[in-house]
Amino acid sequence: RKNLQRIKSVEERAGVNIILAFKAFAMWKAFPIVREYIGHSTASSIAEARLAFEEMGSPA
């Protein structure tokens, strides 16, 4: 959580959106924790887009 807090802090201070790339982060069981800090994601397939919507609550 410490790294996620740092990511969230950078996002807020810089006024940008941090985007989670599923290919770089495949630990799906951690998504409930990650979505507390990262609200945006990207997808390179329909399956990843569905995963983004279902697990992260955001369109990819």
Q: What is the pTM of this model?
A: 0.76
Q: Where are the domains of the chain?
A: 2-56
Tens digit of each residue's pLDDT, the chain (60 residues): 999 999 999 999 999 999 988 777 778 788 889 999 998 988 889 988 998 888 888 887
Residues contacting residue 21 through CB under 8 Å, at least 6 positions apart: 41, 42
